[in-house]
Amino acid sequence: MTTAATQIDIDRDKGDFKYEESHKYDAGIGLTEKTIDYICDVKGENDWIRDFRKRALKVFESKELPTHWATKDLENIDFNKIRYYLAGDKRAKKSWDDVPDEVKETFERLGIPENERKFLAGVEAQFDSEAAYSNIKEAVAKDGVIFMGSTEGLMEHPEIFKKWFGKVIPTGDNKFSALNSAVFSGGSFIYVPPGVKVSHPLQAYFRINAENFGQFERTLIIADEGSEVTYMEGCTAPKFDTATLHSAVVELVAMPGAKIEYITVQNWSSNVFNLVTKRAIAHENAVVKWIDCNIGSRLTMKYPGVVLKGRKARGEVMSIALANEGQHQDTGAKMIHAADETTSNVISKSISVGKGRSTYRGQVRMPKHLKGCKNNTECDALLINSDSRTDTYPAITVRGDKNYVQHEASVSKVSAEQIFYMQQRGLSEAEAMSLSVNGFVNDLTRQFPMEYSVELKRLIELEMEGSVG
Amino acid sequence: MSASLEIKNLNVSIGDKRIIKDSSLTVPKGEVHAIMGPNGTGKSTLAKALAGHPDYEVTSGDALIDGESILELEVDERSRNGLFLAFQYPMEIPGVSIANFIRAAKNARLPDGEELNAPAFYKELYEKMDMLKIDRKFTSRSVNEGFSGGEKKRCEILQMAMLDPNYAILDETDSGLDIDALKVVSDGVNALRGPGLGALVITHYQRLLEYIVPDRVHVMYDGRIVKSGEKELALELESKGYDWIKEIAGNAA
């Protein structure tokens, strides 16, 4: 491992280092049917999935970029210059000892094996297109919990996988879900049997190491009746000069009475286009909670949603987005009420620093025939400098008079006088700013798991340090 | 070199406007000095300029702590060098508890990589709160958010007690306080008095000086220190009024 150390580019940021590439499998540059054949051949996939991918490619090609409502920066993605599949090995290892040194060292520097020992029930660590490591603690596996890569899930448990795959988010949902459907690789497959409560979180870590690369993981989580599971994902990439694409699709299914908590700590470098589709179906009495924290990236577009399909289902989105200089965080939530007495709660906090831009887009839909539905939406924006920008686009469609919706929005600013006050107490300008930001998100992060809020606080500090230079 | 907060022929402008004019003053460590003067005469400007507020430009003269000029130092460096400013209008910091704020300020004084010992910190915090007669529930409230005038000023004194400065400037600490709150705040300042602290108390009214008895009194008018004297000067000023000062200022100019 000491030999590898000389090849590392180290920066102050925890995630900003990379190793020389050594990929055994490389689908080459650009996207055609041949790319898909290559991926299918390497993975040894069945024909139905090959067909599924090829149909998705056609959908992807036929759809326009959503620039009629989203940023024109999307036009800067050159789909012909991206590499769509890069893997060192197509099978994940169950022991860190079997993982190649440079990959293992990457995850060690990101603290993954340490966290696994401390508080996780299982870990999957993806390096470019495939998971390098995947393991679930024996006690959890004994309860019948399945936790593996989506390719393995697809092959080993087709009876569960096929039933839900692409059902929560259809291929044609948007251009990027179609792209993912065509070239997806990696991501997690989780199944929790009825009544099983997984006491510790399952964690996945997504690492992009290669330049000009697109990571397209596909995650499918099914919590069967009355079960409970918490899933955490982290993501990083080193800083490259060229744009990198991350376009995931995440589908969650909470069967009656089940509870899923999905936590994201995203810390992409500032060249990553992060265009992710995340949605859940919540059946009767089920609860789905998305905790979504977006730091870094060049452009993030992500609106986690819950389709509240069963009576008394509940959906929550709690999100924090930090848009630093040159970044655009376009995030929000979707709550689709489709049964009586369903409730949803959206709390969104965004921070814009310098010329950073944050956008909130919310969609709440309650059709006329429903009764007793409730939604609460709060979106708060904090501006750090006078040229920061924030926009809010809440779309609330409520028909009928038997439902209840509440919406609050606020914009506040960290003033020069506030910073002066804090600096007078001995805090540097960066410390003062990060303290204000942490104060702003505090009422939200208090509700997060401890390990997560500590990590978040640290990331905010790093970001603010960088922003004052 | 003497242990003092020293202002030498200081001139301060805001934009094109000259506010502080050629003022000099020395507060030796261990003494409490008061600056009195009518509103709009430059007292608060002096306080903010000494703390290093970016809007206040020192055009000439010097300000020194223990013989070393502080004018080139950043706001936070001056603070860590032992200068504390109790604000006339303390700022709110939503979501940041008083305990966390003071802890961050104390952490900023430690060398890189060192962290404050949490139990020791809370022990000290509670001791100082008891001394200042502040309810312990106070610590979990966000800094100054929704505070009454009296609470804000008490919060300032608590921060001062915890940061243990060598020199403190109290800017109109009495403004907006009723007599009970005034007593509590004054008791706090008096409790912190001692050989290790030099204090400059800025006030519009003589009233505060009944509770915080100064070693010396300076009178400011139109950006200048026009008269300095013993504590009796405050009483003289009270009885003769600020017109008397205008006369002195007129003669001096």
List domains and CATH numbers for chain B: 4-91+165-252 (3.40.50.300)
Angle between helices B149-163 and B98-107 (to 10 degrees): 30
Beta bridge partners of A411: A381
- A465 in B contact zone (CB under 8 Å): no
Residues of A in contact with B56 (CB under 8 A): none
Question: Which of A422, A436, A468 is the best substitution to test chain B (most B C-beta atoms within 10 A)?
Answer: A422
Burial class (CB in 10 A: 0-12, 13-18, 19+), A131: buried
Dihedral sign, Cα of residue A275, residue A216, residue A25, residue A7? positive
- A469 in B contact zone (CB under 8 Å): no
Q: Return the domain boundaries, chain A.
A: 2-302, 424-469
Residues B93, A421: C-beta atoms closer than 8 Å: yes
Rg over CA atoms, chain A:
21
Residues of B in contact with A435 (CB under 8 A): 93, 96, 100-101, 104
Question: pLDDT tens string for chain A (469 positions)?
Answer: 333 333 333 344 567 777 666 778 888 899 999 999 999 999 999 999 999 999 999 999 999 999 999 999 999 999 999 999 998 877 788 888 888 887 888 888 877 888 887 778 888 888 888 888 888 888 889 999 999 999 899 999 999 999 999 999 999 999 999 999 999 999 999 999 999 999 889 988 888 888 888 999 999 999 999 999 999 998 777 777 777 899 999 999 999 999 999 999 888 888 899 999 999 999 999 999 999 999 889 999 999 999 999 999 999 999 999 998 889 999 999 999 999 999 999 999 999 988 899 999 999 999 999 999 999 999 999 998 767 788 888 888 888 788 899 999 899 888 889 999 999 999 999 899 989 999 999 888 888 877 777 778 888 887 887 666 4
ipTM of the complex: 0.96
Comparing alpha-carbon positions, the chain B residue that sits nearest to A436 is: B93
**CA gap B208, B243 in Å, rounded:** 21
Residues of B in contact with A415 (CB under 8 A): 91
Chain A nearest-CA distance from B169, in A, is 12
CA A228 to chain centre: 20
Residues A425, B163: C-beta atoms closer than 8 Å: yes
On whether the CB atoms of residues B218 and B33 are closer than 8 A, the answer is yes
Question: Which of A349, A421, A445 is the best substitution to test chain B (most B C-beta atoms within 10 A)?
Answer: A421
CB half-sphere exposure, A172, CA atoms < 13 A: 5
On whether the CB atoms of residues A200 and A147 are closer than 8 A, the answer is no
